[in-house]
Structure 1
Amino acid sequence: MSLSRSWTEFVADLADHVPGGVAGLAALVLLLAGLALIALYWRPRRRHRPEPVDPPATDEPAEAATDDEDDAVPELPPAQLASLADRYAAAGRYAEAVRERLRAMVRELVERGVLRHRPEWTVTELAAAAGAAAPGLAGTMTEAADVFSRIWYARRPATAADDARMRTLAAAVAERAGATR
């Protein structure tokens, strides 16, 4: 028996048990496909949370205070976060370096009173809030958020160029944040 004949007989047998015959079966299949698409579209979207990583081994125990488990900006000065980012970059861990540079930018803005940090903010909300508080920072923070998101959420491999761009953006934030005081 050929495959097409087997398929035809299967559909005919199935249609015998559905009100409306073949037309009813077609309507049922379309209805189920539509419900599946709606379920996929409306399912809760879970944000990717980066896996916690340990900072590179150093002789400085103060860096152990960096806790990545809750994605919060650590209560460390921006310079210390930038130093940690430098060590990550030197070790070739560019994704972590990008993350620490963004944290340093946020801490800079918080310490200068430009922004009140809220740990529940997404990186996009953070960039928008910084831009609203200091319009000169809008483009810079949006670009920093984009670099971070491409690496941590879209899972694009981080490169030395990403770290270099974040260094430039962090310097611009420090300069502009000082001017908004």
Structure 2
Amino acid sequence: MRGYDDLVGRVFTIVSPPLLLLLLLAATALTAALWYWYPAWIPRRRPRLPRLPRLTLPRWRRRKPKRATSAPARPAAPGTPGATAAPAPGGTLADRLAAEGRYAEAIRERLRDTVADLTRAGLIDPDPGTTAAELTTAAGTGHPAVGPALTGATDLFSDIWYGHRPAGPPEDDRMRHLTTEVRDRLGGGR
């Protein structure tokens, strides 16, 4: 402890206490400013050394042979592993996804289409981040007839997407039925 007292005594004999206080405040202000603007004064990357030019030799490019046009592929027979049911012409994206066996995505797309219809009808005003339950509440308040079917559709969507329940053809058919019911009750069947 005596060594510390001697050090403080020597510092005060060289620098007056008010000047020492001013120097400490200036050092504190400088540290605070550097801390506040830290990313701006640190270089983003180290400077690179200049690169030497590369010697490039001419390359002989081999021509790619023209591909022979092959006969159009025939669809696989129903019942074979590679067969998928083709959607009806003019089908929606949800129908195409379901035909590919991507039922969870088809269910999501069917709900998106229904939300778009509800928005066009003026029942809801979806904002980014709005949950399916909030959309159901808003639509059910504005048009009570769509409430039960829309609640069933959003519950099915939530079970599959957030509950990680596997989706298959029965779930897709149920979602198709529920969304059709919502559209019918809106009066603008799709």
| Superposition deviation, residue 122 in structure 1 | 0.7
Contact 2:160 2:166 in 1 (8 A): yes
Q: 1:141 aligns with which of 142, 150, 155?
A: 150
Query: Aligned-residue CA RMSD in angstroms?
Result: 1.5
Q: Does 1:97 align with 2:73?
A: no
Q: Matches of 2:183 and 2:166 in 1, distance apart? A: 26
Name the counterpart of 1:126. 135
Contact 1:112 1:178 in 2 (8 A): no
Describe the superposition over 1:128-158 as per-residue Cα deviations: whole angstroms up to 9, x where unpaired: 1111111001111110011000100000101
Q: Matches of 1:146 and 1:124 in 2, distance apart? A: 8
Describe the superposition over 1:35-55 as per-residue Cα deviations: whole angstroms up to 9, x where unpaired: xxxxxxxxxxxxxxxxxxxxx
Larger radius of gyration: 2
- State TM-score, norm by structure 1: 0.52
* Runs of 4+ residues over 6 Å off in structure 1: none
Q: Matches of 1:177 and 1:110 in 2, distance apart? A: 11
- Runs of 5+ consecutive residues of structure 1 not aligned to the other structure: 1-79
Q: Does 1:175 align with 2:184?
A: yes
Q: 2:116 aligns with which of 107, 122, 128?
A: 107
| Superposition deviation, residue 110 in structure 1 | 0.7
Contact 1:150 1:156 in 2 (8 A): yes
Q: 2:172 aligns with which of 160, 163, 180?
A: 163
Contact 1:140 1:173 in 2 (8 A): yes
| Superposition deviation, residue 112 in structure 1 | 1.5
Contact 2:145 2:185 in 1 (8 A): yes
Q: Matches of 1:129 and 1:118 in 2, distance apart? A: 12
Secondary structure, aligned partner of 1:107:
helix
Q: Matches of 2:117 and 2:126 in 1, distance apart? A: 11
Describe the superposition over 1:51-96 as per-residue Cα deviations: whole angstroms up to 9, x where unpaired: xxxxxxxxxxxxxxxxxxxxxxxxxxxxx8x700000000000000
Q: Identity of paired residues, percent?
A: 47
Contact 2:139 2:146 in 1 (8 A): yes
Contact 2:97 2:103 in 1 (8 A): yes
Which letter does structure 2 place at the counterpart of 1:139?
Answer: P
Structure with a larger share of its residues in helix: 1
Q: Matches of 1:161 and 1:168 in 2, distance apart? A: 11
Secondary structure, aligned partner of 2:164:
coil
